[in-house]
Copies of this chain bind each other. A is one copy, B any other.
Amino acid sequence: MTTTPVETVTTGPIEGSVKHYQEVDGLRIPVRRINMTNGEHFDVYDTSGPYTDDTATIDVETGLPKLRADWGRPEVAGPPTQLAWARQGIITPEMRFIAAREGVAPELVRDEVAIGRAVIPANHNHPELEPTIIGKKFLVKINANIGNSAVSSSIAEEVEKMVWATRWGADTIMDLSTGKNIHETREWIMRNSPVPVGTVPIYQALEKVNGDPTALTWEIYRDTVIEQCEQGVDYMTVHAGVLLRYVPLTAKRVTGIVSRGGSIMAAWCLAHHQESFLYTNFAELCEILAKYDVTFSLGDGLRPGSIADANDEAQFAELRTLGELTKIAKSHGVQVMIEGPGHVPMHKIVENVRLEEELCEEAPFYTLGPLATDIAPAYDHITSAIGAAIIAQAGTAMLCYVTPKEHLGLPNRDDVKVGVITYKIAAHAADLAKAHPHAQDRDNELSKARFEFRWHDQFALALDPDTAREYHDETLPAEPAKSAHFCSMCGPKFCSMRISADVRDFAQQNGLETQEDIDRMIAAGMAEKSAEFADAGNKVYLPIVS
């Protein structure tokens, strides 16, 4: 690593929690442990790596400890990939780690990887990685894009963005740098990233030809891929489905081609009037990726960039080609996921998943939103969270976040956080809708804390404890308000939670446990019980904080 200074990264636990490791079968599984004021604790899936561990020494110059360095690799014939091993019935340490993390059986992990319905992006050269799985039978994952552009940002900022994004829950990050120092920026990110890192190699290849897409060659591209494989990149977006004959299909679109990689390849194909070199050299590319166990993320270079262009012929023609390429990649033992849109109105979202599953053998779908409307620039984290939640419910395995700056500029640190939290919401909403085992536990814990006016616990269980506390404190900053039986929204007299806690106490004190008890009470018309409640009711309104 060079001496480019990374001034500082964010360390220390998220408020209300500590880093904890569950010892499972010789592996240490990181969790965020929330110690609640009622003496209980609640453990949360944790993507943040050692940065939130108060006992860890963080030195970005050295990089993270090489967790997987001594995990070994199965010594069997065939490509050295999780896919090949899974097919041979082998459960790798990565699979065991993931099974413990997700709370599922290791066999489920192996089976899903073996049939290609899940991927474990884990380059041999990224030993710092805490492995994660992307597949529809598992928790929905989210990706955060970082990376500088020619106009903005520095290496230090990008490393901090990676730490910051994983702190708030990004399961993978993509380094989309397009400006200067691409290689060096990536090196810093790789050595310090506890999550899988994805890239789009064509961006760096384009820099090598001074930004002229028509000057690209297979050789330049191939060498760039090898360079990135060597560094440890875990998955790569390859727009090999943008074929020459599809390009004119975009001419009548409202927003043409909106994928950077897609537009670069379209320009190359048109200029040379040749088929894409990514397509014609795909088998060789597979051999390279297999060697390192780098996962394909087959890019949707012709994804729709507006509601008007959703689900059109260009988009689905490319998807059919991605299906073809999926089979080729898997025949080389390379893991594959498929990228998806984009901008899609709600009623056209599910069709995308069904078609992807049909054409691409249920390879994990990885979508960008989609945005459910075009009319809200500055709020596209929200327009896209709507689409993302719906597409994840339908089976999408990973969601690429969108920040408030989408379409307008490069996201800063705050934007990254808002994007990540928003996408954790979409992913979790889908986990609930898919009835993922235990997904609802956190909702239940938080709602119980809310009902019992344990404000500190409510904040700690939230996706973003800092902002929840800050909003509460705007009107009621004093510490006693943290156990007060109301907030400033309704004030003390009108707190429904408080009144309804009294209703529950009344029911419990009177043995109203079953429907029969309730019927009995109704039938009996217990006047004296009512009087008791009226007494309790008077008590309700005594000010607790005054």
- A interface residue numbers (CB < 8 A to B): 149-152, 178-179, 203, 206, 211-214, 244-245, 247-251, 253-260, 262-264, 266-267, 270-273, 305-308, 343, 345-347, 372-379, 381-383, 385-386, 389-390, 393, 404-410, 412, 421-422, 424-426, 428-430, 432-435, 440, 442-444, 446-448, 450-451, 458-459, 461-464, 467-468, 470-472, 474-476, 487-497, 499-504, 506-508, 512, 517-518, 521-522, 525-527, 529-531, 533-534, 537-538, 540-541
Contact = CB atoms under 8 A, between A and B. Distances in A.
Nearest to A246: B518
Among A405, A429, A468, A476, the one with the most B-chain Cβ atoms within 10 Å of its Cβ is A429
B494 A379 contact: no
A255 B214 CA distance: 62
Contacts of A499: 213, 257, 263-264, 266-267
Given A404-B471, A467-B378, A496-B262, A307 B440 contact: yes
A504 B260 CA distance: 15
Contacts of A250: 500, 503-504
A45 to B, nearest CB: 12
Contacts of A442: 375
12 contacts: A213-B499, A250-B500, A256-B451, A257-B503, A260-B495, A273-B527, A305-B496, A306-B447, A345-B429, A347-B434, A375-B442, A382-B425
Dominant secondary structure of chain A at its interface with chain B: helix
A271 B537 contact: yes
Contacts of A381: 382
Contacts of A474: 405, 409, 412
A292 to B, nearest CB: 26
Nearest to A526: B273
A346 B446 CA distance: 18
Contacts of A179: 491
B461 A254 contact: no
A468 B443 CA distance: 33
A497 B257 CA distance: 6
A504 B256 contact: yes
Contact of A410 (B382, B405, B489, B493): B489
Nearest to A148: B491
A433 B349 CA distance: 10
Contacts of A259: 496
